[in-house]
Amino acid sequence: MTQKAEAKTGKVFMPAKIGSLQLRNRIIRAGCFEGMCPEGCVSNELIEHHRAVAAGGTAMTTVAYCSVARDGRAYGHELWMRQEVLPDLKRLTDAIHAEGGAASVQLGHCGFFASRSAIGHQPIGASRKFCTYRMSFPRPMNEQDIVEVREQFGQSAKMAIQAGFDAIEIHAGHGYLLSQFLSPYTNKRKDQYGGSLENRIRFPKSVVQHVREAVGPDFPIFVKMNTTDGIKNALEIEDAVVVAKAFEEAGASALIPSCGFTAKTPFMMLRGNRPIKMMAFNQKNPLQIIGLILFGSFLVQYYEYQDMFLLDRARQILSAVNIPVVLLGGICSLDNMQTAMNEGFEFVQVGRAIIKDPDIVNKMQRGEVTQSDCDHCNRCVAAMDKDGVRCVCNTDGPLKKKK
Ligand SMILES: Cc1cc2nc3c(=O)[nH]c(=O)nc-3n(C[C@H](O)[C@H](O)[C@H](O)COP(=O)(O)O)c2cc1C
């Protein structure tokens, strides 16, 4: 079968159900922080961004990152879920639905790397672990904080439904708060939430359970989780398999295996070029600008890009659970998507290839393209801190010298 014919008939473009939700195909736009929420509010730019993704044929687009509390934000221009943003979020979900797409929202809390200037006080974390990204220590969470954050996840999930979202994605990866509990790198607790893997899972699992109770039995809950933190003596795939089973037991509808720790190994989840100078000049904090320029290439580790770079580890998650698993990470071609389906993944999530061309899914389905021309220069990552996420190659041309 030619790739063009396969595009019309292959499983990638077949509708799929997850919980109560019907999706028009198997391609979901991965949560990619948009940087389009000044003062934590929904902008028209954010609405247009996701409308265009839905118009481009993607089955579901993920609004990211949305904190469950004001205190869970790494930037002042990050959204946090609250009653006052619901009317604008409803405009956003209406715009996505009008294009025939479904809407998901990534709910999380960034814990120890929250921005002190955005939240107004010391961040909370699993333990008193120094955060090199913020050059500060968090306040270790007490039992009351644990109950409160769990409650914030449940409340945010309910608000997401009120705002018209069709699914939620709980962020339990990338070194965000739930991942800080799962990882021995950040979790040094001596109580029932630290030490053994069983203890480290306790809080994140209870969050998923709580959200399931809040949204009812059929509402789709995706959980994004790490398969490795990319740090010595931290979470690795053997632990991740146990974590995946725990999330399944807690009521997750689907899992999204990923990797990397934002405050320590941020480019592991992306791979490819590190646009360090651009990242430096897009920061507001002068110390971060100087630090990144002087030490960026030492602090920010390089990981070589590869198509489907999470496939091996995601396979191990897939064989451990009985719920759908989403393949993410370097899905750049129709061939990659077909491979994912053939391997038994129910969905793929695509980040940069859709940032590069929001119409790529329609173009693939029509047989016009089979491959993204995203070159993983990762300048979209630097852009999100300044003017909002966009493909810089589309406006400024491709990166000439990769640094
Ligand atoms: C600009 C940008 C912003 C991102 N922001 C988030 C985020 O807010 N939450 C998250 O879980 N992952 C985030 N990611 C990671 C993506 O969801 C995805 O895991 C990664 O880009 C690999 O997928 P890809 O190869 O299809 O781009 C971001 C990626 C990019 C490129």
In the chain, where are the structural domains located?
A: 3-271+306-372
Residues 314-357 have pLDDT tens digits of 999 999 999 999 999 999 999 999 999 999 999 999 999 999 99
243-247 contacts, C-beta under 8 A, 24 or more apart? 243/172, 243/182, 243/197, 243/201, 243/204, 244/317, 244/320, 244/321, 245/320, 245/321, 246/201, 246/204, 246/205, 247/172, 247/204, 247/205, 247/208, 247/223
Residue nearest to atom 30 of ligand 1 (CA): 32
Q: Which atom of ligand 1 is nearest to the CA of 353?
A: 26
Residue 135: predicted pLDDT: 85
Residues annotated as catalytic (active site), given as ranges:
176
- What is the spatial distance between Cα 253 and Cα 400, in angstroms, rounded to a whole number? 43
Res 402 pLDDT > 50: no
User: What distance in angstroms lies between residue 10's CA and the mean position of ligand 1's atoms?
Assistant: 26
Averaged pLDDT for residues 81-105: 98
Q: Which residue's CA lies nearest to atom 15 of ligand 1?
A: 32
pLDDT at 403: 41
- For range 148-153, the mean pLDDT: 98
Q: What is the pLDDT of residue 280?
A: 79
Instruction: Name the band, by pLDDT with cuts 50, 70 and 90, for residue 208.
Output: very high
Of the listed ranges 25-29, 42-46, 238-242, 272-276, the one predicted with least confidence = 272-276
pLDDT tops 90 at residue 16: yes
What is the rounded CA–CA span in Å between residue 382 and residue 145?
32
pLDDT for the residue numbered 2: 53
Band of residue 197 on the pLDDT scale cut at 50, 70, 90: very high
Answer for the pair 187, 181: CB distance below 8 angstroms, yes or no: yes
State the Cα–Cα distance between residues 328 and 321, nearest whole angstrom.
Answer: 17
Nearest CA to ligand 1 atom 13: 32
What does the pLDDT read at residue 385?
Answer: 79
Q: Which of 78, 269, 326, 336 to mutate to test the pocket of ligand 1 (most atoms within 8 A of CB)?
A: 269
Q: Which atom of ligand 1 is nearest to the CA of 258?
A: 19
Q: Find the helix packing angle between 44-55 and 86-98, rounded to 10°.
A: 20
Given the CA of residue 330, which atom of ligand 1 is nearest to it?
A: 25
Distance 64 CA to ligand 1 centre (A): 9
Of 214 and 400, the one with more pLDDT: 214
Atom of ligand 1 nearest to the CA of 64: 8
What is the pLDDT averaged over residues 369-390? 91
Distance 86 CA to ligand 1 centre (A): 24
pLDDT at 206: 98
Q: Which atom, in ligand 1's list, is nearest to the CA of 349?
A: 26
Quick check: helix, strand or coil at residue 60?
strand
Q: What are the pLDDT digits (tens) for 44-73?
A: 999 999 999 999 999 999 999 999 999 999
- pLDDT score, position 6: 54
- pLDDT for the residue 8: 52
User: Mean pLDDT score of the chain, rounded to an integer?
Assistant: 94
Architecture of domain 3-271+306-372: Alpha-Beta Barrel (3.20)
Percent of the chain surpassing pLDDT 90: 85
**Model confidence over 259-296: pLDDT tens digits?**
999 999 999 999 999 988 788 777 777 777 887 777 77
In 3D space, the residue among 104, 14, 30, 4 whose CA is nearest the CA of residue 354 turns out to be 30
31 Cα–ligand 1 center, Å: 6
On the question of pLDDT at 1 being above 80, the answer is: no
* Neighbour tally for 245: CB within 10 Å: 17
For residues 33-54, give the mean pLDDT.
96
* pLDDT for 9: 53
More confident residue, 238 or 133: 238
29 CA to middle of ligand 1, Å?
10
The minimum-distance atom of ligand 1 relative to the CA of 30 is 17
Q: Is residue 4's pLDDT more than 60? A: no
Q: Is pLDDT of 113 > 70?
A: yes
Predicted local distance difference test score (pLDDT) of residue 300: 86
> Hey, how many other C-beta atoms are within 10 angstroms of the C-beta on 217?
10
Q: Which of 33, 305, 306, 355 to mutate to test the pocket of ligand 1 (most atoms within 8 A of CB)?
A: 33
Please list every protein residue whose CB sits less than 6 Å from any atom of ligand 1.
Answer: 30-33, 64-65, 106, 171, 174, 224, 258, 269-270, 328-331, 350-353, 380-381, 384, 389
Give residue 134 CA to ligand 1 midpoint distance, Å. 21
| Pick from 160-169, 188-197, 274-283: least confident | 274-283
Q: How far is the CA of 5 from the centre of ligand 1 (A)?
A: 30
Q: Which residue's CA is the nearest one to ligand 1's atom 10?
A: 31
The protein residue whose alpha carbon is closest to atom 4 in ligand 1 is 32
Which range is least confidently modeled, 7-16, 97-106, 328-337?
Answer: 7-16
Which H or E run includes 208?
helix 197-215
Residue 231 and residue 324 in contact, taking contact as beta carbons nearer than 8 Å: no
